[in-house]
Amino acid sequence: MKMIGLTGGIASGKSTVTAIIRAKDIPVIDADALYHGLISAQDNQPSELALKINDAFPGVLLDDGNVNRPLLGSKVFGHPEELKKLSAITHPAVGTAFMFKVQELQEAGTALAIYDVPLLYERGMETMLAGVLVVWVPRHIQLERLMEREQIELVDAEKRLASQLSLDDKKSRANWVIDNSGSRDATKKQVLEWLNDQA
What does the alpha-carbon distance between residue 163 and residue 77 come to, in Å, rounded to a whole number?
Answer: 6
Question: 161 near 12, Cβ under 8 Å?
Answer: no
Q: How confident is the model at residue 143 (pLDDT cuts 50, 70, 90)?
A: very high
> In sequence order, what are the beta bridge partners of 45?
42
Query: How much is the mean pLDDT over the chain?
Result: 94
Q: How confident is the model at residue 79 (pLDDT cuts 50, 70, 90)?
A: confident
Q: Where are the alpha helices (DSSP H) in the chain?
A: 14-23, 31-39, 48-56, 69-76, 80-107, 139-150, 154-162, 167-173, 184-198
Calculate ∠ Cα 192-135-30, nearest 5°: 85
CATH topology assigned to domain 1-27+112-199: Rossmann fold (3.40.50)
* Other CB atoms within 10 A of residue 173 CB: 13
| pLDDT tens sequence across 13-68 | 999 999 999 999 999 999 999 999 999 999 999 999 999 999 999 999 999 999 99
Delimit the CATH 3.40.50.300 region(s) of the chain: 1-27+112-199
